[in-house]
Amino acid sequence: MHHSDRGLLLRKPPAYQDRWWSTDDGLRLYARDYPASPGRVRLPVICLHGLTRNSADFEDVAPYIAALDRRVIVPDIRGRGLSEKDQDPMNYHIWTYARDILDLCDSMGIGQAIFVGTSMGGLITMVLSTLRPTLIKAAVLNDVGPVLSSKGLARISSYASQAHQVFKNWHDAAVYIAEANRVAFPNYSPSDWQKFAKRVFIKGRDGLLRLAYDPRITEAFKSVTVTSSTYDMAPCYMSLATGRRILLVRGALSDLLEDTEAQAMEAMSSDFSRVDIDYVGHAPMLTEPTARAAITDFLESQG
């Protein structure tokens, strides 16, 4: 073996590959593609993030799913992360995002997958079930349902539509993120907040840290009065829940999904399981032991 070959063996292979795809309206979007561990041939999993987040949210989740012999695809929804921004902010809504995911599946040749949707990602999943019913085999909804608490929506809206913060160092960025999210993660340590900041901020060429999303993503969100009644997602949820297995992961402290709404979701569903994550609000990271165990069991019982 040549000396240089040994160096190659020592280098850890990347956990995922970078993928790019084009939407029907010409945007270039990005996804992380985690290969399945070698073993059974199984349906892939597509993970969809929340309103102001990006694919980094699943950096600790995708590897444990990939270890279950499943390819995991984690897109940056348009306007977030490495995906292009939309020139028209009115396109920032869940129906556009759902069509973007159809374009992603078409470009990758994916006819069916299991979906994991956090918050907005769960709403996109509900819409997808109406646009292409054959695409979704089963779904994990992370702290989201067809009826959202106006209290939680107002908090997310005010946080998302603040002037974009710019920081010079990671410590200040972490302090900012902690202030905005402490209600959801009361037990987080400074190192947890540091890790959180590294997921949601991006370092520019000027060395400054900026939030990794287009500040205009909330314009369409604000143009409709922000009350939970604005989005009648019940038909979309019914579509998703009919004939499919649903796992609901709910933050026990969630201000977005009330317990009564979670119970109503169960009543509307043919095959429903639920796990509540203690000491966590909106939304669980899905790395919590109870969340991970529930998701693993759910995926192991699927094709």
CA end-to-end span of the chain, whole Å?
A: 41
Distance from the Cα of residue 82 to its chain's centroid: 15
Secondary element (H or E) of residue 95: helix 94-108
Q: Name the CATH code of domain 3-149+232-300 (choices 3.10.310.10, 3.40.50.1820, 3.30.1060.10, 1.10.357.10).
A: 3.40.50.1820
| Secondary structure in 3-state letters for 222-284 | HHCCCCHHHCCCHHHHHHHHCCCEEEEEEECCCCCCCHHHHHHHHHCCCEEEEEEECCCCCCC
Q: Beta strand 271-277 with 245-251: parallel, antiparallel or unpaired?
A: parallel
Name every residue whose Cβ is closer than 8 Å to that of residue 278 and which is 6 or more positions away in sequence. 252, 290
pTM assigned to the model: 0.93
Per-residue confidence of the chain (303 residues) as pLDDT tens digits?
A: 555 454 555 566 679 999 999 999 999 999 999 999 988 899 999 999 999 999 999 999 999 999 999 999 999 999 999 999 999 999 999 999 999 999 999 999 999 999 999 999 999 999 999 999 999 999 999 999 999 888 888 888 887 777 788 999 999 999 999 998 999 999 999 999 999 999 999 999 999 999 999 999 988 766 554 444 456 899 999 999 999 999 999 999 999 999 999 999 999 999 999 999 999 999 999 999 999 999 999 999 997
* Count of beta carbons in the 10 Å neighbourhood of residue 152: 23
Domain residue ranges of the chain, discontinuous segments joined by +: 3-149+232-300
C-beta of residue 50 within 8 angstroms of C-beta of residue 64: no
Question: Any idea which residue has 């009919």 for tokens?
Answer: 242
